Amino acid sequence: MPERSRDILSQTHPYDSLPAEALDALAQDVDRRDMTAGEAIYTQGQRLDALYLIIRGRVDVTDGSGEILSILGPGNSFGERGLMRDGRAVTSAHAAEEGQLLTIPDRTFRALVAEHPRVARFFDRTRPARAKRQDLTTMSLDDMMTRDPLSVPPDTGIATAARKMRDNRVSSLMVTEGDAVIGIVTTRDLTNKALAEGLPHDAPVREVMTADPMSLPPSALVSDVLHAMVERRITHMPVVEGGRLVGMLTQTDLTRFQATSSAALIQDIAEAETLEDLTASVGRIPQLLMQLVGAHNAHQVVTRLITDVGDATTRRLLAMAEAKLGPPPVPYLWLACGSQGRQEQTGVSDQDNCLIIDDTMRPEDDDYFKALATFVSDGLDACGYFYCPGDMMATADRWRQPLRVWRGYFDKWIATPNPEAQMLASVMFDLRPIGGDAALFDDLQAETLKKAAANSIFVAHMVSNSLKHTPPLGLFRGFATVRSGENKNTLDLKLNGVVPVVDLGRIYALQGRLTEANTRARLVAAIERGTVSASGGRDLLDAYDMIADIRLQHQAAQIRRGEKPDNFMPPTDLSDFERSHLRDAFVVVKTMQSAAGQGRGYLS
């Protein structure tokens, strides 16, 4: 029997990564268990004492409402999440057909995780190891290089080469024969070797190029480039992989990288004199995002820094508007909602904003504030923060009102939670002051949270509304991708990825009267204050971190390829390991949605 168990384990990941002696010991500890169709292997909330591996048959994993989350077959392990947390199952598992299981005792499973990193990484599916944060010198060339650099054949005339550099605004050209790099020609070469020596304009670049230039692979570190540039007094580093030219890194790239930090961007934005200057500065956000992700910053750091740039842009536009229109007739407050309000902006964001105006405003004062709102919203659109498709902007009369009207809005939404009221309340619960008199919001926020939390009918409607966006879980361990349109067969990492967690975080904030607007901060506060159970909250926090990180990595990869970033990722972009982990993160989100829908804080 141990021999048969060993054979099964040796052919199943991650047990196949164990050394022979550990595999032998594991085979001695496991047991066989027959299962009959319809049998409950365990139920949600039950304390688990073993991990299960399917030898034969099928197991359905369901949430608290009985909805199937996963259909598992031979070779799949399950039950590990309960073992890795507090010992209680977070889902239920039933045998869909007759079969057989291999059971690994809890103590044995914990020893495996503690002693074998590969096994630990496999089962710690929503807490992937994060690389140590990097700075400029420890980043790889792959995160910084210019891809597909320009090249010319060796017989190209120097005048033709010079025009190509001028027209493309580059300082070098690679000289190639087929895929092989045989040299590099720079503007310095054209000056010192061609112009100074009086070579004819049709002389071939092979006469002035630097032959057999030093090159590095994409996996090399930027520090390697820096050291080579200092030691060899060079300014350009070709990046070659498998004998093929794939990129270029120059001193100019390094200088531009150091200049593209959130602090540098915000300083440029604060000093911008014209909309053109502002647009040029904000246009560096994609590069900033790519660099922040490439340096392995946590998603909440990346989105916070990106949002800081959006905040600074908004405040600069408000200052420009006041300079053009004159001082405001009464105090006002510009607020952001949506991703900017939650400090979660990425490489693609629209604008969601509104104006709260002091109650002393007169009807004729609205001409000023409408002009101010138009100036700022138009400016944001020019900078890349496109107009809100739902017209949730201060340019709409409805969202540019005195404080007393805003109080009336929230009172009405809470008292009559129809679908529109739920939608609007969901958006407005993410409000965050950006510029103006912040005191206009303090009392409104506190009063609204108190009234909303005290209205059980409103809370119930908000909970129901928050469950409309579901994770993209398909059966048979797959994903439910977009079914049609230009994004067919992709995962919507926004609508079906982060939004379900954003909705849950908003519910926890409402129930706990939490003032935080940021989703991750809401989850942490909900755990600390007992709004959600510690076990469920930690699982959801881990799941959110994984989904949000993958979303940013997807956008950074698009930017590196010269594409416009979006939220639609083909599952084929993920490795099998990543697919498994991401799906488990979606299962956690779905489980927490089920718990919220049943009025539970997961597992208390």
The string of pLDDT tens digits covering residues 56-72 is 888 888 877 677 777 77
- Helix/strand/coil percentages in the chain, nearest 5: 50, 15, 30
> Average pLDDT, stretch 255-284?
82
pLDDT single digits (tens) 88-129: 787 888 998 899 998 999 888 888 888 887 787 777 654 444
Between residues 222 and 546, the one the model is more confident about = 546
Q: Is the pTM of this model over 0.75?
A: no
Cβ-Cβ contacts under 8 Å for 554 (sequence gap 6 or more): 493, 565, 567, 569, 573
Least confident residue range of 85-89, 537-541, 557-561: 85-89
Helical segments of 102-157, H only: 106-115, 117-123
Q: For residues 458 and 217, give the distance between their C-alpha atoms in angstroms, rounded to a whole number.
A: 58
583, amino acid identity: R
Question: Average pLDDT, stretch 228-249?
Answer: 85
Which token pair is 398?
């409805």
Give the percent of the chain with pLDDT over 90. 43
Q: Is 572 exposed, middle or buried (0-12, 13-18, 19+ CB in 10 A)?
A: exposed
Is 320's pLDDT higher than 90? yes
- Looking at residue 364, its pLDDT comes to 96
Over range 36-40, report the average pLDDT: 91
DSSP 46: P
Q: Please report, for residues 41, 83, 194, the alpha-carbon distance to residue 188 in angstroms, rounded to integers and kept in the order given.
A: 73, 64, 9
Q: Is the pLDDT score of 388 beyond 80?
A: yes
State the pLDDT at residue 447.
87
Distance between CA atoms of 460 and 463, rounded to whole angstroms? 5
Q: Pick the range with the lowest mean pLDDT from 65-69, 89-93, 365-369, 399-403.
A: 65-69
Give me the pLDDT at residue 490, please: 94
Q: What percent of the chain has pLDDT over 70?
A: 93
* Residue 182 phi, psi dihedral angles, 5° rounding: -115, -10
Q: What is the DSSP string of 245-263?
A: EEEEEEHHHHHHHHH-SHH
The model's confidence at residue 133, banded by pLDDT at 50, 70 and 90, is: very low
Least confident span in 332-336, 417-421, 578-582: 417-421
Question: If you average pLDDT over residues 333-343, what whole number do you get?
Answer: 94
Q: What is the pLDDT of residue 361?
A: 96
